[in-house]
A and B are shown apart, each in its own frame.
Chain A
Amino acid sequence: MTQSSSLRVLVGLGVAAFAAACTGDRTAPAARAPEPASGPVESVKVATRPSGDIGDRVADAIVVDFKDGTTAEQIDAWETRWNVDLELNSVEGVDDGIALAVGVDDVEGALEQIRRDPNVESAEQLVEYSIPETEADEAEAIPLRGPAPEDSDGYQPNDPDWDKQWNLRQIHMPKAWQTSKGKGVVVAVLDTGIAYEDNDEFKQVPDLKGQKFAKGYDFVNDDDHANDDHGHGTHVAGTIAQATNNKEGVAGVAFEATLMPVKVLDHFGRGTSADIADAIRWAADNGANVINMSLGGGGYSQVMADAVAYARKKGVTVICAAGNTGQGRVEYPAAYPGAVAVAAVGPEGQKAPYSSWGKELDIAAPGGDKSKGEQRGILQNTINPQDPSKSVYAYYQGTSMATPHVAGVAALLIAAGAKTPDQVEKALFQGADQVGGKEWSDQYGHGILNAEKALKALKNPNPKEAEASAAPVAVAPASTPASDDTSDSASADEAADLAAAEAPSNWTPLFFAAGLLAVTLLTLRGRARPGYLNVALKPTFLIPALLVTVGLFFLPWIGGAHGSSVLATFRLPIPDWLEKIIFGRGKTANPLVYSALLPGLLALFGIKGKGFRPIVGGMAIGFAGVLAYSAFAGAPALSWLPFTFLAIPWLVINAALCLLIARGMLKKEAA
């Protein structure tokens, strides 16, 4: 692309960019290094915003996508009818039918009127993107064909159509393959099936020959042969693990990974949330490390949400397509907590016009954009939709195509040592190429997938964050390192909760409590000091102290904590129960819960009832143990406190107050 078009690209519906792209194409030989700009480009008309602002709606401008082939004369006629000044967006405007109107007084009113016209494919308020120059240079280095210069020295597969896979160069696969090819990682493809075997009328497609497949299942026909009778699933599976460097067809992202074919969509590409929820659990139980779901729709389903949470809890990374509505709502299952939601971008790294976006979005990956040419789609080997026994190489576009790029890179990360979905996600997001300098946006999530950088991020995570996650933590809300990334969806929190619930109980706070008990008793003199073991082993003291510091640690032994977040909560120390029950989940703990308040209130009763005293004493010592441990671990971020450095003094002071209360409660009355 020419520089001027890349520097500031103005997009309505994201589509106008392709006009610019096309103009660039025409002047550009197929495979070449970036070269200096060559004059202005028609489509760059209204780029008035400072660079760095992306995705801003332009207040008085609308973009109308007419049916292809609409003539300028026709558009002129509508101008008068709609009372707006329409202008074809570019020289290519006649082909793609995209027109702009600026200076519109009543945008909503005009849009309503225009959308009613059958000749209009879509109309909406103009969205303006501008890419900072540094980003533009990067975007430019991704030619449609031929290796980008910085990727020419990585692993170059000998697949004959490798040069058509702009998508794999966009995410820097040649360098990434030098580190990992996904060996041994099982990626379940929940889709229309995979052409993975010769079975009756079904034939394995040639570019999956020699690949590894795990035992799958067909939930549509209820049998063991998840053969593809549609074509979608095989294409998606190809992006993940097409046979590569085999002198046949094209390459795949994680070509040494093992594919698990799971058929949940019928020969029309349609399925039910019930089947899919079943399949998610089945895949998680049968050894999948990653689940790819290039499907969506149907609205919220608790059954599906639970299934996704279950998979995540079992350590499975779940990657889903954001949807193809082009609107600001991420489809389910991508929108469920615990799922990675993937948007699609075209060859220049612009959000594809069809791609859904929204607050649950996590990352963007190449999904293609064929509005300016078939070869701008994603090319993989699949079956002929009209005859499942025949092989074809097809360019498809969609967030379905973007999703397996992320699933493939997730497999590379796991093969390279990532142990948990949290680690996979963190590396994916940290390694992503930020768009417009933003850490997160509702159009691109954390940015555009970059396999090479994700693998680097896994090996060298941000030192500050690594330290925080390595620190021992007593309290669940603090187990997610405090981060200034406000964009994080609820999914990370929920996953952290689930992970915490699944983890073995943390006994360290109890040891802190035991030590503090000894210190407290030493401050008592003579007859007022009870024997250490006399106190510590008294059930009325020990049980409250245990509950406060460790929680119902025995629940998993009696099979109680599995699959229930309520029971899982009770496996946490009592301060965390209160935190969750009163304030719900969050990254920061409430200072009132993490204080001497509760032991203090209980002590008021303890003064009256003598039998109550050891219980309050046990709780107070327990609270002191938890607070002291939290302070020691440097863990909690306390909400409401204006400065985080106050958190540790707060915990220390309150731990001391708890000890004072305990001292009062345990003191033997001089008889």
Chain B
Amino acid sequence: MKLTGKVAFRDIETGIWVLEGDDGKTYQLAGGDRKIKKDGGRIEAEGEVVKGAMTIGMVGPVFEVKTYRFV
């Protein structure tokens, strides 16, 4: 699936990177490379929501990024 949205760092738990999707949902980011961690950066990403993934973040579904670009 393709998602666009804003990358954000949330100081929750040990620190969580999320994608605030334009679909109104918040996804916990996974995958990609370390450069994706740009607080406030808007990205367009291709990837999948990982079913059954449980996390310490508990901020929303885990979105595993395969490819992305800043827009």
Which chain A residues have a beta carbon within 8 Å of chain B's beta carbons? Answer: 67, 115-116, 118, 121, 191-192, 230-232, 235, 265, 268-274, 276, 294-299, 301, 321, 323-325, 331-333, 354, 356, 370, 385, 394, 396-401
Please indicate the chain A residues that have their CB under 8 angstroms from the CB of B58 in the complex.
295-297, 321, 323-325, 331, 356, 398-400
* Cβ B24 vs Cβ A115 within 8 A: yes
Give Cα A617–Cα B24 distance, bound, in whole angstroms.
65
Give Cα A298–Cα B52 distance, bound, in whole angstroms.
4
Given known A-B contacts A115-B24, A297-B61, A297-B62, A324 and B54 have beta carbons under 8 A apart: no
Please indicate the chain A residues that have their CB under 8 angstroms from the CB of B40 in the complex.
67, 118
Please indicate the chain A residues that have their CB under 8 angstroms from the CB of B55 in the complex.
265, 269-271, 295-297
- Besides A296-B55, A332-B54, 15 other A-B contacts (C-beta < 8 A): A231-B14, A265-B55, A268-B30, A273-B52, A276-B54, A295-B54, A297-B28, A297-B58, A301-B52, A321-B58, A323-B58, A354-B59, A397-B11, A398-B56, A398-B58
Please indicate the chain B residues that have their CB under 8 angstroms from the CB of A265 in the complex.
54-56
Minimum distance in angstroms from A331 CB to a CB of chain B: 5
Minimum distance in angstroms from A335 CB to a CB of chain B: 12
Which chain B residues have a beta carbon within 8 Å of chain A's beta carbons? Answer: 6, 8, 10-14, 16, 22, 24, 26, 28, 30, 40, 42, 51-62
Given known A-B contacts A118-B6, A270-B55, A325 and B12 have beta carbons under 8 A apart: no
* Cβ A324 vs Cβ B24 within 8 A: no
The 7 A-B residue pairs whose C-beta atoms are closest, nearest first, are A269-B56, A296-B58, A398-B13, A323-B58, A273-B52, A324-B58, A232-B56
* Cβ B52 vs Cβ A324 within 8 A: no
Main SS class of interface, A: loop
* Cβ B60 vs Cβ A298 within 8 A: no
* Cβ A270 vs Cβ B11 within 8 A: no
* Cβ A297 vs Cβ B53 within 8 A: yes
Please indicate the chain B residues that have their CB under 8 angstroms from the CB of A295 in the complex.
54-56, 58
Give Cα A301–Cα B28 distance, bound, in whole angstroms.
19
Given known A-B contacts A118-B6, A297-B61, A325-B59, A271 and B12 have beta carbons under 8 A apart: no
B24 nearest in chain A by CB position: A115
Minimum distance in angstroms from B7 CB to a CB of chain A: 11
25 contacts between A and B (CB under 8 A): A118-B6, A118-B42, A192-B56, A230-B14, A230-B56, A235-B14, A265-B55, A269-B13, A273-B54, A274-B52, A295-B54, A295-B56, A297-B28, A297-B61, A297-B62, A298-B54, A323-B58, A324-B12, A324-B13, A324-B58, A356-B58, A396-B14, A397-B11, A397-B13, A400-B56
Give Cα A594–Cα B60 distance, bound, in whole angstroms.
47
Residue with the highest number of chain A CB atoms closer than 10 Å, among B12, B51, B59, B62: B12
* Cβ A400 vs Cβ B30 within 8 A: no
Q: Pick the contact of A324 from B6, B57, B62 — CB < 8 Å?
A: B57
Given known A-B contacts A231-B14, A370-B11, A397-B11, A271 and B54 have beta carbons under 8 A apart: yes
Please indicate the chain B residues that have their CB under 8 angstroms from the CB of A115 in the complex.
24
Give Cα A148–Cα B44 distance, bound, in whole angstroms.
51
* Cβ A354 vs Cβ B12 within 8 A: yes
